[in-house]
Structure 1
Amino acid sequence: MRRKILNVIDGLAQPAASDNWTTLIDPATGDVSGEAPLSDGTDIETAVASSMKAFTGWSRLTPGERCTRLNTLADRVLTRLGELVEAEILDTGKPRQSVIEYEVMPALEELRFFAGATRVMDGLATQEFRAGHTSTVRREPIGVVGQIAPWNYPFMMTVWKLGPALAVGNTVVLKPSESTPSSAYLLAQIATEVLGPGVLNVVNGGRATGADLVAHSDLGMVAITGSTRAGRAVAASAAENVMPVHLELGGNGVAVIAPDADVEEIAAMTAMSAFYNAGQDCTALTRFIIHDSIYDRFVKLLLEAVAKIRVGAPDERNVLYGPLNSEQQLKIVQGYLDRLPSHARVLTGGSRLDRPGFFFAPTLIEGVKQDDEIVQQEVFGPVATLQKYSSDAEALAMANGTRYGLAASIWTNDIKRSAYFTKGIRAGTVWVNCHLLHNAETPHGGVKQSGYGRDLSKFALEEYTQIKHVMTFTEAHYPLLRDDGSVAW
Structure 2
Amino acid sequence: MNDFSLLIDGQLVAGDHTIPVLNPATGKVAASAPAASVQQLERAITAANRAFAGWRDTPFAERRAIVLKIIDIIAANQGELSRLLTLEQGKPLAAAAGEVSATIDYFRYFTTLSLAPEVRQDNETRYVEVRRDPLGVVAAIIPWNFPLLLAAFKLPAALLAGNTVVLKPAPTTPLATLHLGRLIAGAVPAGVVNIVSGGDELGPVLTSHPGIRKVSFTGSTETGKKVMASAATHLARVTLELGGNDPAILLDKVDLEHTATAIFASAFGNSGQVCRAIKRVYVPRPIYEPFCAALAERARAAVVGDGLTDGVQFGPVQNAAQFERLKELHADAQQRGTVMPGGGPVKGPGYFFRPTIVKDIASDSRLVVEEQFGPILPVIAYDELEEAVEMANNSQYGLAASVWSTDSQAAFAVADRIVAGTVWINKHTDRMPDLPIAGARQSGMGVELGEEGLHEFTQIKIVNLSKAA
Match of 1:279 in 2: 272
Aligned with residue 192 of structure 1, among 185, 190, 195 = 185
State how 1:330-479 maps to structure 2 within 5 Å: 330-340=323-333, 342-476=335-469
Match of 1:236 in 2: 229
1:59-107 CA-partner distances (Å, limit 9, x unpaired): 2222222222211210111111222112212211221111112x11011
Which letter maps to 2:120? Answer: A
Query: How far 1:473 moved relative to its partner?
Result: 2.9
- What secondary structure does 2:381 align onto? strand
Aligned with residue 106 of structure 1, among 98, 102, 109 = 102
Query: How far 1:152 moved relative to its partner?
Result: 0.3
Any conservation in 1 of the 2:271–2:315 contact (CA below 8 Å)? Answer: yes
- What secondary structure does 2:215 align onto? strand
Match of 1:327 in 2: 320
Aligned with residue 65 of structure 2, among 64, 68, 74 = 68
Match of 1:35 in 2: 32
Partner Cα distance (1:46, 1:406) in 2? 36
Match of 1:13 in 2: 12
Query: How far 1:24 moved relative to its partner?
Result: 0.8
- What secondary structure does 2:340 align onto? strand
Query: How far 1:124 moved relative to its partner?
Result: 4.8
Normalised by the length of structure 2, the TM-score is: 0.96
The alignment status of 1:206 with 2:199, answered yes or no, reads: yes
- What secondary structure does 2:335 align onto? coil
Match of 2:161 in 1: 168
Partner Cα distance (2:335, 2:225) in 1? 33
Any conservation in 1 of the 2:48–2:137 contact (CA below 8 Å)? Answer: yes
Query: How far 1:197 moved relative to its partner?
Result: 1.5
1:268-290 CA-partner distances (Å, limit 9, x unpaired): 11111111101011111110100
Aligned with residue 59 of structure 1, among 56, 61, 67 = 56
Partner Cα distance (1:123, 1:376) in 2? 45
Q: Which moved more, 1:424-433 or 1:364-373?
A: 364-373
Query: How far 1:453 moved relative to its partner?
Result: 1.6
Aligned length: 469
Which letter maps to 1:11? Answer: G
The alignment status of 1:301 with 2:298, answered yes or no, reads: no
State how 1:230-269 maps to structure 2 within 5 Å: 230-269=223-262
- What secondary structure does 2:465 align onto? strand
1:236-260 CA-partner distances (Å, limit 9, x unpaired): 0011101111000011111111110
Which letter maps to 2:8? Answer: I
Q: Which moved more, 1:334-343 or 1:3-12?
A: 334-343
Query: How far 1:112 moved relative to its partner?
Result: 0.5
- What secondary structure does 2:211 align onto? coil
The 1:259/1:309 distance shift into structure 2, 3 A limit, reads same
1:167-223 CA-partner distances (Å, limit 9, x unpaired): 211110011000111111122223322222111101111221011110110111101
Which letter maps to 2:51? Answer: A
The 1:301/1:179 distance shift into structure 2, 3 A limit, reads same
Partner Cα distance (2:346, 2:288) in 1? 28
Partner Cα distance (2:57, 2:21) in 1? 39
Any conservation in 1 of the 2:333–2:339 contact (CA below 8 Å)? Answer: no
- What secondary structure does 2:120 align onto? coil
The alignment status of 1:46 with 2:39, answered yes or no, reads: no
Q: Which moved more, 1:36-45 or 1:255-264?
A: 36-45
Query: How far 1:10 moved relative to its partner?
Result: 0.6
- What secondary structure does 1:150 align onto? coil
Which letter maps to 1:408? Answer: A
Any conservation in 2 of the 1:279–1:380 contact (CA below 8 Å)? Answer: yes
1:120-162 CA-partner distances (Å, limit 9, x unpaired): 667352435xx73332221111110011000001111111121
Q: Which moved more, 1:268-277 or 1:341-350?
A: 341-350
% identical aligned pairs: 34
Partner Cα distance (2:156, 2:310) in 1? 33
Match of 1:487 in 2: none
Partner Cα distance (1:288, 1:203) in 2? 39
Partner Cα distance (1:408, 1:325) in 2? 24
Match of 2:310 in 1: 317
- What secondary structure does 1:223 align onto? strand
Any conservation in 2 of the 1:365–1:384 contact (CA below 8 Å)? Answer: yes
Which structure: larger Rg?
A: 1
Match of 1:270 in 2: 263
The 1:443/1:349 distance shift into structure 2, 3 A limit, reads farther
Partner Cα distance (2:314, 2:363) in 1? 28
Partner Cα distance (2:308, 2:35) in 1? 31
Match of 1:482 in 2: none
The 1:348/1:427 distance shift into structure 2, 3 A limit, reads farther
- What secondary structure does 2:129 align onto? strand
Note the aligned Cα RMSD (angstroms).
1.6
Consecutive unaligned residues of structure 1, counting only runs of 5 or more, are 477-489
